[in-house]
Amino acid sequence: MVQDFFSDRASRGNPGSSAAAFYVRNYEGDLVGAKGVKLAESTSLVAEAMSIKEGLQYCWENNYLNIILESDSLAMVQILNDIWGDSLECDSGGQLHQ
């Protein structure tokens, strides 16, 4: 089953005080998980990367292995697409591969 995973971040200044958050919905649209973390001073791009990292870790730990990652950060989407292309797989050790 596909899970939708949404990441977001907030920063006061760039760099500045930051937070990272994510939520996961199941294929029916029900909320199945969410988390927010306060970060040390960082840039908005670093905060977005941390929200993705936290969300991927949550998905892995809860056996949500078929996910759609959504982000409102065009820069992060472009970074991920350039590095990994359109498809990622996660192995049994939690490592991402193309």
Residue 81 has pLDDT above 70, yes or no: yes
CATH architecture, domain defined by 3-97 = 2-Layer Sandwich (3.30)
Return d(Cα 28, Cα 43) in angstroms, integer. 34
Model pLDDT for residues 36-63, shown as the tens digit of each residue: 999 988 888 888 888 998 999 999 999 9
Query: Higher confidence at residue 95 or residue 62?
Result: 62
Q: How many helices (H) and strands (E) does the chain have?
A: 2, 6
Return d(Cα 56, Cα 54) in angstroms, integer. 6
Q: How confident is the model at residue 34 (pLDDT cuts 50, 70, 90)?
A: very high
Provide the residue ranges of all domains of the chain, joining segments of one domain with +.
3-97
Return d(Cα 97, Cα 81) in angstroms, integer. 13
